[in-house]
Amino acid sequence: MMKLRTKFILFAVILHLVTLVLTYFIFQQNKILFIASEVLIILSLMIAARLYKQLIQPLQLLMQGAEAIRDRDFNVKFVATGKYEMDELIKVYNQMIDELRAERIKQEQQHLFLQKLIYTSPTGILILDYDDCIQEVNPRAIKLLGIEEKDLIKKSLNETIHPVLLEIKQLQSGASGTFTYNGASIFKLQKSHFIDRGFVRHFVMIEELTVEILAAEKKAYGKVIRMMAHEVNNTIGPVNSILQSTLTSKKMWLDNETHSFKDALQVAYNRNNNLNIFMRNFADVVRLPGPVKKNTDLHQLIRSIAKLMEMKAGEKQIQFKYQLPETPFYVLADEQQIEQVLINIVKNAIEAIEEKGIIVFSTQPAIKQLTITNSGNGIAENIAHQLFSPFFSTKKDGQGIGLTLVREILLNHGCEFSLHTTTPGETNFIIRFVK
């Protein structure tokens, strides 16, 4: 397409050429008129050139301004020329450029603030692209999910196998829910969307509720346990006193026919004592003291616990194996409480193996991690999320105190922990101590 500048030049040249030819034929007999007409044509050309310059200059400025805007260069401004029309155009353009530059700076500042807010947020945030692939993830989400950033970026929710991401995939936009991960961590997941360039994009917020929910749970069951223990102790104490006085009274048992009643009272007395012990076990979870931390050699503690549990493991022909560095592995912990944790974990591992199995103790001092692996039947998926629920047990006569106590101790130490079956015949209890 022919440019306006070319059209103007072509029009001026043709017009003056036609005028020149006409004046030649009209005034060729009169040289004075012919010369005068030629002078007029030359003046007309000069005026046309001047007009061309005045007309094309605003267009050139508009073109330069348009190119600057197209290149998003909002620093290009024009200087006033002293001509009214040009100066008005320049004034409007410069004002527009100032507003665009101010708006861009404002947007950049808002974007940087939003990026910093996302990066430092205590809530995990995943930002998805138009195809529901993870485009951006903040450090908190990486920590909560336990996955490296490179394994998340550009990965679609449709091809993930991570339990939390699978749960996110099933969430509808605007919906939220809670999810228990690894039996120990409780997450609140919330999915929403925003409009980007006319298309919908989703983002997900992951908030860890473990501490808050566990604190609320402990407050609730602690109150119930204290009330139960109070009532049981108030009842068992006087009843046992009466039973003991009756059992030690020689006059009541002189008749041989009353011996069966004496045996029955002894059974009742013993049962009361067992009930008292039963309630004390529950109360111990509530009355758990804060940890008295000191440098503890975890390797030495592991071997000590293994020695203690060796006979019980031998009854099922279970072997202990060690993948421990030769150097000591010191952690800042309450030795007695961590010892109780290890006893419960090893006891559960032994009970999970029917016969002839292996329990492996392995440590990674560089990341302060202990892993206890057993070759038992594993954990069923439908109960995995309940493992650390207060007093939940899969055993027929279990009280569910062991893992509840383990959970309380490890949380008081600030440890991260998980219990899950990775493959059939391989169940890992992982503890990561505070660095």
CATH number at residue 361: 3.30.565.10
Q: pLDDT class for 342, splitting at 50, 70, 90?
A: very high
17 contact partners, CB below 8 Å, separation of at least 6: none
| Alpha carbon distance 306, 283 (integer Å) | 27
Answer yes or no: do 131 and 162 share one domain: yes
Number of domains comprising the chain: 4
Q: Give the mean model confidence (pLDDT) for residues 397-413.
A: 76
Confidence of residue 218 (pLDDT cuts 50, 70, 90): low
Q: Residue 256: its pLDDT value, please?
A: 59
Q: 420 with 310, same domain?
A: yes
Do 32 and 53 share a domain, yes or no?
Answer: yes
16/128 same-domain check? no
| Residue 420 and residue 308 in one domain | yes
Q: Do 413 and 324 fall within a single domain?
A: yes
Of the pLDDT bands very low, low, confident and very high (cuts 50, 70, 90), residue 429 is: very high
In angstroms, the CA 94 to CA 68 distance is 12
Whether residue 90 sits in one domain with residue 20: yes
Asked if the model's pLDDT at residue 170 lies above 70, the reply is yes
- pLDDT confidence of residue 296: 92
**Is 155 part of a structural domain of the chain?**
yes
Pair 396, 313 in one domain: yes
Average pLDDT over residues 225-247: 67
Is residue 386 located within the same domain as residue 314?
yes
pLDDT at 308 over 70: yes
Long-range contacts of 419-424 (CB under 8 A, 24+ apart): 419/182, 419/183, 419/184, 419/379, 419/387, 419/388, 420/182, 420/183, 420/379, 420/384, 421/378, 421/379, 421/384, 424/378
For the chain, give the mean pLDDT: 79
pLDDT value, residue 226? 65
**Which tens digit of pLDDT belongs to each residue from 175-217?**
888 777 766 677 888 899 888 878 888 999 988 776 666 666 6
Mean pLDDT score, 296-322: 91
Domain boundary among 263, 286, 309: 286
Domain for residue 114, yes or no? no
Q: What is the structure's pLDDT at 401?
A: 67
Strand partners, 41: none
What pLDDT is recorded for position 287?
A: 66
Q: What is the pLDDT of residue 234?
A: 65
DSSP letters spanning 186-197 = EEEEEEEEEEET
Considering the domain boundaries, does residue 336 fall inside one?
Answer: yes
Per-residue confidence band for 224, with pLDDT thresholds at 50, 70 and 90 = low
Q: Is pLDDT at 259 greater than 80 in this prediction?
A: no
User: What is residue 213's predicted lDDT score, i.e. its pLDDT?
Assistant: 60
> What is the domain range of residue 84?
4-107
Nearest to residue 165, comparing CAs of 201, 193, 137, 200?
A: 137
In this structure, the answer to whether residues 298 and 416 fall within a common structural domain is: yes
| pLDDT value of residue 120 | 87
Residue 115 counted as domain residue? no
Q: How far apart are CA 48 and CA 25, in angstroms?
A: 24
Boundary of a domain, candidates 239, 259, 286: 286
Over the stretch 268-306, which tens digit does the pLDDT of each residue have? 777 677 666 666 666 666 666 778 899 999 999 999 989
So what's the pLDDT on residue 364? 93
Identify the residue with better confidence: 23 or 315: 315
Of the CA atoms within 13 Å of residue 307, those in its CB half-sphere come to 6
Do the Cβ atoms of 160 and 145 come closer than 8 Å? no
pLDDT digits (tens, 9 = 90+) for 62-84: 777 777 777 777 777 777 777 77
Position 203: which residue type?
A: F
Does 375 map to a domain?
A: yes
Last residue of a domain, one of 227, 253, 286: 286
Segment 314-327 shows an average pLDDT of 92
Task: Identify whether 26 is part of a domain.
Answer: yes
pLDDT mean over 372-388:
77
- Note whether residue 98 is domain-resident: yes
Q: Is the pLDDT of residue 313 over 80?
A: yes
- What is the model's pLDDT at position 302? 93
In a shared domain, residues 313 and 253:
no
CB 186 within 8 A of CB 209: yes
pLDDT, tens digit (0-9, with 9 covering 90-100), for 101-141: 888 888 888 888 888 888 888 888 999 988 888 888 999 88
Q: Residues 176, 203: one domain?
A: yes
DSSP, res 305: H
Is 364 part of any domain? Answer: yes
Share of the chain above pLDDT 70, in %: 75
pLDDT at residue 299, as a whole number: 94
- Segment 222-234 mean pLDDT: 64
Residue 203: CATH number of its domain: 3.30.450.20
